[in-house]
């Protein structure tokens, strides 16, 4: 049985569906671990490239899983799955995949974007998915795992909660509303390190200057100072 790395372990721990699809399955390890542990009844792996498709097929051969060659949700039917994961891709690719067939998406979605994480939170915020939890691996090798559940409008109440502690929605989308509400130590350490690093550089770009200012505002907010 393939062992999952810390990142995929976090993802696996959040999956609740009986029939689960993993888009961009690559080696197929996530579904193999979920099926072997009886955490799901059936798995559907989706790959758009031939070699990873073959790798997933080999890993999942004797398990209750199907491997499909295709682009994202193109090869998933409406009402076919209870939950969905997309891991190890950039946020923009994830948002594109989610946006192509909105009526095929299941109630639970677990995402692990490598970058452009704010765009994933924004997509969910605009499409009736509430961020029910967010987790992360270490400080230097930080991967964020976002857990969403579809509730439809009204909007995700977590951003209202954030407002009540004096932090606005753009900051929540950027750094993660639950990490902020919990005053997550690892996020704070990472931000303090990033602040030190950016301040030590000369000739910062306008974007970096704006980022330093946002981090400074956040770390000196009443919410964080009162911890």
Q: Does 87 bind ligand SAM (CB under 6 A)?
A: yes
What tokens appear for 82 in the block? Answer: 């209870």
Q: Considering only residues 12, 45, 46, 187, which one is a binding residue for ligand SAM as defined by CB under 6 A?
A: 46
Scored b (16 or more CB within 10 A) or e, 123-134 reads: bbbebbbbbeeb
* Stretch binding ligand SAM (CB under 6 A), from 58-66, 88-96, 155-163, 189-197: 88-96
Q: How far is the CB of 58 from ligand SAM (least distance, A)?
A: 14
Alpha helices in 71-201 (DSSP H): 91-100, 117-126, 158-164, 169-175, 177-181, 185-200
Q: Considering only residues 10, 15, 26, 120, which one is a binding residue for ligand SAM as defined by CB under 6 A?
A: 26
Binding mask 187-216 for ligand SAM (x = CB under 6 A): ------------------------------
User: Does an H or E element contain 88, and which?
Assistant: strand 83-89
Length of the chain in terms of residues written: 227
Q: Does 28 bind ligand SAM (CB under 6 A)?
A: no
Q: How far is the CB of 218 from ligand SAM (least distance, A)?
A: 29
Q: Does 76 bind ligand SAM (CB under 6 A)?
A: no
CA distances from residue 195 to 52, 87, 179 in whole angstroms, order as listed: 39, 28, 18
Decide whether 47 or 184 has the Cβ nearer to ligand SAM.
Answer: 47
Question: What is the SS3 assignment for 121-152?
Answer: HHHHHHCCEEEEEEEECCCCCCCEEEEEEECC
Residues that bind ligand SAM (CB under 6 A): 23-24, 26, 46-49, 52, 71-72, 87-89, 93, 97
């Amino acid at each position: 049985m393939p062992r999952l790395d810390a990142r995929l372990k976090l993802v696996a721990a959040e999956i609740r569906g009986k029939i689960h699809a993993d888009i961009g399955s690559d080696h197929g390890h996530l579904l193999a671990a979920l099926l072997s542990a009886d955490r799901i009844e059936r798995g559907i792996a989706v790959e758009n490239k031939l070699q990873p498709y073959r790798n997933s097929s080999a890993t999942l051969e004797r398990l209750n899983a199907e491997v499909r060659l295709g682009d994202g949700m193109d090869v998933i039917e409406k009402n076919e799955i209870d939950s969905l994961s997309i891991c190890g891709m950039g946020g923009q690719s994830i948002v594109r995949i989610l946006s192509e067939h909105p009526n095929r998406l299941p109630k639970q979605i677990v995402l692990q974007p490598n970058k452009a994480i704010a765009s994933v939170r924004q997509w969910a915020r605009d499409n009736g998915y509430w961020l029910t939890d967010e987790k992360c691996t270490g400080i230097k090798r930080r991967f964020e795992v976002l857990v969403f559940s579809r509730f439809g409008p009204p909007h995700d109440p977590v951003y209202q909660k954030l407002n009540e502690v004096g932090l606005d929605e753009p900051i929540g989308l950027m750094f993660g509303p639950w990490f902020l509400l919990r005053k997550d130590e690892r996020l704070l350490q990472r931000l303090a390190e990033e602040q030190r690093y950016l301040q030590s550089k000369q000739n910062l770009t306008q974007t970096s200057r704006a980022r330093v200012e946002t981090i400074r505002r956040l770390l000196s907010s009443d919410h964080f100072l009162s911890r």
